């Protein structure tokens, strides 16, 4: 099945020529939107998530937000055509470099599979754009790429919002303030979890056409990017979430949603160690409902992580797709323990309990919950005012690396270390 790895240099030559061609002049070309300026948006990746982003953007425009979707890009022509018709974009292409060359694109949405996010974000930054990129910032194989994205954002002045929409909830800023005020004393531990019954859509991904094949309407070579090469299969293309070369499973797809806000709340940087255990515990061969699914799943359904940070702080992060019960609040909200108190985010409130007898010493309402439309509107506002979004690349790079270490730890059933002096994962 597997043929040779695409050489990284060849990959860059083939797929990142635009960035080289545009050079520094384009990088600094245009970063001066006014507060009411009309923003022109290019969409790269017009599948399920790209489609919901298009819906949100069209709705925002209806509500008076000054924006147009001017260009669309997808490696599968039927989806590209559908997006072009829906958005009335003036330009459509199967090559993201061609979209990035356009002067009528200010902001780029990237909703491609995980292994393309980092490269396309860097290309877009180099082309002078602001970027909303879906999580995770990079695929788990691509160690060090998230840091390159953060660096490129810093160098170019381009804005990057990473699509962890949970960051639009006020609870995390409120919790951060309470912790900074000393309400729980020195934080020592946080517990998070991701419990659900069944899959999160990974095997439900639509195979639009079971007879689709590589050619002028489907660019298999481009889709694969820096992946080890495989024979084409509609499943690998349309259900890329099931395969380790293109996806990381629950950790990079789901845990990252609550880890990003947790890192923001607690100011977490890079860990020292990540230990992981897990595997395919629910969807074992005898339990898997359909034979195709049985053959294709490479990603785990159960992942348990222990993450250690410098300064004696630990996070436990457990989860399974076999049972949705949770002990407190929703299934992803953290419990943050300190020497003096425990902070709970759940339901409508944030509560602080004393650490010895669990007596409630503080309660306040969560001012506003998760709002994806607001998350977009706030980012467009940032693009106009040049304010940094909360869910930016600098915050996300260490989170992304921690999640990469988590995937590596679970896949290899081992402890992965981070070298703080050399600033790199010891793989």
Residues in contact with ligand NAD by the rule CB under 6 A:
44-50, 73-76, 79, 96, 111-114, 116, 134-135, 163, 165, 222-223, 253
Smallest distance from the beta carbon of 207 to ligand NAD, in angstroms?
10
Could you tell me if 57 and 185 are in contact, meaning their C-beta atoms sit under 8 angstroms apart? no
Nearer to ligand NAD (CB atom), residue 56 or residue 188: 56
In angstroms, rounded to a whole number, what is the distance separating the alpha carbons of residues 245 and 222?
14
Nearer to ligand NAD (CB atom), residue 105 or residue 350: 105
Nearer to ligand NAD (CB atom), residue 254 or residue 342: 254
Smallest distance from the beta carbon of 203 to ligand NAD, in angstroms?
12
In angstroms, rounded to a whole number, what is the distance separating the alpha carbons of residues 165 and 69?
21
Smallest distance from the beta carbon of 51 to ligand NAD, in angstroms?
7
In angstroms, rounded to a whole number, what is the distance separating the alpha carbons of residues 122 and 18?
11
Smallest distance from the beta carbon of 121 to ligand NAD, in angstroms?
12
Nearer to ligand NAD (CB atom), residue 28 or residue 206: 206
Name every residue whose Cβ is closer than 8 Å to that of residue 62 and which is 6 or more positions away in sequence: none
Smallest distance from the beta carbon of 151 to ligand NAD, in angstroms?
21
Question: Sign of dihedral through CA atoms 225, 231, 236, 238?
Answer: positive
Question: Sign of dihedral through CA atoms 394, 399, 404, 408?
Answer: positive
Nearest residue to ligand NAD, by Cβ distance, number only: 47
Smallest distance from the beta carbon of 161 to ligand NAD, in angstroms?
11
In angstroms, rounded to a whole number, what is the distance separating the alpha carbons of residues 117 and 63?
29
In the block, residue with structure tokens 């490269």: 119
In angstroms, rounded to a whole number, what is the distance separating the alpha carbons of residues 31 and 15?
25
* CA-atom Rg of the chain in angstroms: 21
Q: Give the dihedral of Cα atoms 260, 269, 413, 317; nearest 10 deg.
A: -40
Nearer to ligand NAD (CB atom), residue 156 or residue 224: 224
Nearer to ligand NAD (CB atom), residue 317 or residue 335: 317
């Amino acid at each position: 099945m597997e043929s040779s790895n695409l050489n990284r240099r060849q990959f860059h030559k083939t797929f990142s020529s635009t960035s080289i061609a545009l050079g520094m002049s384009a990088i600094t070309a245009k970063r001066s939107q006014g507060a009411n300026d009309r923003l022109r948006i290019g969409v790269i990746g017009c599948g399920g998530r790209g489609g919901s982003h298009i819906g949100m953007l069209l709705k925002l425009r209806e509500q008076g937000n000054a924006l147009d979707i001017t260009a669309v890009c997808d490696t599968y022509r039927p989806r590209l055509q559908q997006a072009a018709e829906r958005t009335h974009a003036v330009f459509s292409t199967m090559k993201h470099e061609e979209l990035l060359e356009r002067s009528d694109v200010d902001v780029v949405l990237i909703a491609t599979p995980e292994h393309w996010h980092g490269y396309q974000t860097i290309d877009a930054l180099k082309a002078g754009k602001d970027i909303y990129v879906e999580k995770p910032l990079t695929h788990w194989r691509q160690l060090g790429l998230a840091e390159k994205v953060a660096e490129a954002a810093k160098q170019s002045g381009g804005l990057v919002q990473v699509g962890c929409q949970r960051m639009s909830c006020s609870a995390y800023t409120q919790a951060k303030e309470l912790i900074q005020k000393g309400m729980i004393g020195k934080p020592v531990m946080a517990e998070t979890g991701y419990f659900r019954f069944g899959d999160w859509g990974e095997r439900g991904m639509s195979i639009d056409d079971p007879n689709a094949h590589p050619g002028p309407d489907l660019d298999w070579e481009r889709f694969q990017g820096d992946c080890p090469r495989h024979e084409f299969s509609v499943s690998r293309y349309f259900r890329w979430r099931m395969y380790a070369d293109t996806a990381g499973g629950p950790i990079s797809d789901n845990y990252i949603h609550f880890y990003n806000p947790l890192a923001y709340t607690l100011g977490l940087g890079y860990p020292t160690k990540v230990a992981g255990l897990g595997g395919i515990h629910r969807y074992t061969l005898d339990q898997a409902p359909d034979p195709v699914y049985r053959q294709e799943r490479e990603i785990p359904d159960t992942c348990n992580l222990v993450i250690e940070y410098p300064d004696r702080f630990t996070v436990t992060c457990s989860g399974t797709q076999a049972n949705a019960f949770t002990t407190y609040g929703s299934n992803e909200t953290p419990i943050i323990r300190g020497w003096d108190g425990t902070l709970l985010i759940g339901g409508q409130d944030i509560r602080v309990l004393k650490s010895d007898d669990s007596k409630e010493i503080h309660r306040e309402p969560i001012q506003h919950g998760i709002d994806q439309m607001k998350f977009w509107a706030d980012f467009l506002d940032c693009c106009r005012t040049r304010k940094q979004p909360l869910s930016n690349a600098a915050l996300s790079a260490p989170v992304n690396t921690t999640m990469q270490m988590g995937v590596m730890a679970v896949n290899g059933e081992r402890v992965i270390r981070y070298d703080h002096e050399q600033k790199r994962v010891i793989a």
